[in-house]
Amino acid sequence: MNFQLVTQNYDSVPADWLIVGIPAADGFPATVSALDESLGGSISRVREAKDLTGENAETVALLDAANIAAKRVLLLGVGKPDEITRASLHKAVMTAARLVSSKETTTIAIALPDLSRDGCSQADQLETAVAALEIGCMGQGIYHREPKRFAFENVTVVIAPADDETAMQSSIDRGQIFGEAVNLTRDLVNRPAQDINPISFAAVAEGLANQYGLACEIFDEDRLREEKMEALLGVARGSDQPPRMVSLKHNGGAEDAPTLYLCGKGVTFDSGGLSLKPSAGMLDMKMDMAGAATVLGAMIAIARLELPVNVVALMGLTENMVNGSSYKLGDVLTARNGVTIEVHNTDAEGRLVLADVLSYAVDQKADCIIDLATLTGACMVALGNDVVGAFTNDQPWCDTVLAASRDRGELLWQMPMYELYDELIKSDVADIKNVGGKWGGAITAAKFLEQFVGDTKWVHLDIAGPAFSDKNQPHQEGGATGVMVRTLVEVAGRFN
């Protein structure tokens, strides 16, 4: 997608579609009033008819725009000026992008009046809008013979002559990087297991690492055994696809600066193992590697933005399948750090994969860790499909992650980690068991992971609900969402 920054009147911008932001306020900004005059009062008449209020994500199309350079105009409500946030603007522009991208276009233009407010500057708004345009025009119909969504070839971003062009261009560049990183994650998650398995995922990661200057190391089965990653290897037993762990390093900070580790669950297909899922529960399990895909997307953005920090990504990759070698209920696995795990459910495999990945991060002297996983249905029961659950052993570190998610407009809610939950994962046979019973399943899963981070500052993000949408919405394509990519990059940008 090619972005062009221009400073001119709205009515003189040539485009197949001109998207114009309309606030929910009395009157119009001067730039919109000038466009309304060129259109013979069309915008005013739409508002007088109460078809246009400016409510966030409201759209009104003017399909025959006479006397201006654009062929069509999409009036886009952006909400009350004092209530605009990154989240609200992202939703609005995503809605517009999805509407406009349903047909092939050569050029679109977007014109957002300056509605800066504390915590959401004009530069923030422009960056958010550009990212939303990138994301909103990409669908999940990868295998359709005839596309139902079309990426924009050229986008003209219209700003006022008084605006700082250098700062606005920087915002456009950043927004494009964010959008492309989210789409990278979405594309990987949307592809089925026939395309994305541990080997092919690792190959994609290696290719991107070479392209963007990240150090890459791929751990094969022999290396995983050397590293004593028997929990990960146990999950992998049932699959013909060999497991991998990918390590990517971005050395943007000083040699003695702290290092942030991002760890992702990469179960490229989850049948449930011997604790077999029903067909309905298995259909979308190509998305069980969303944690690893999110980490990869974030790392590529961090590298492209050249953030002056040290960040390492670890992605544990395997399938959870069934054959004669599958790990079994009652088996005891010994994780990398020596903790023994009694298997009570082979469908609780993601925490076994992460156990070894987290232990490796600790041994590499990680200063802070964030792990991401589509880990539990219980988190969806607790928080629904749109909110990520956060769990931690260090409140100040969690506060940093929560603040980053708020600033990036992604929904995150902290869950309790009381010691009483530790009792639920104790085993009579081994040190711990891999499930904690019927109640508090998201929390007991997090308490399981806590056994492998020691005193290292750690936040676990359960993205089971928001990582994959089961239906299309006006502001969001069904399928993979790329949730938390933007938050991870924001955390990295603040890390020191």
Q: Which residues are catalytic?
A: 277, 351
- 264: CB partners within 8 A, 6+ apart: 289, 291, 292, 293, 294, 295, 296, 313, 314, 315, 316, 357, 371, 372, 373
What is the C-alpha separation between 388 and 103, in angstroms, rounded?
A: 33
What is the C-alpha separation between 493 and 496, in angstroms, rounded?
A: 9
Are 457 and 393 in contact by the 8 Å Cβ rule? The answer is yes
What is the C-alpha separation between 82 and 79, in angstroms, rounded?
A: 9
Q: How open is the CA angle 7-11-14, to the nearest 5 degrees?
A: 80
Helix spans in 191-286 (H): 198-212, 221-226, 230-236, 279-282
Stretch (H or E) spanning 491: helix 485-494
Q: Count how many Cα atoms sit within 13 Å of the Cα of residue 199 in the half-sphere of its side chain.
A: 7
Structure tokens at 407: 């600033």
Structure tokens at 270: 């989850």
Q: Count how many Cα atoms sit within 13 Å of the Cα of residue 220 in the half-sphere of its side chain.
A: 2
Mode of pairing for the β-strands spanning 479-480 and 154-159? unpaired
Helix spans in 213-265 (H): 221-226, 230-236
Would you call 171 helix, strand, or coil by DSSP? helix
Structure tokens at 141: 């119909």
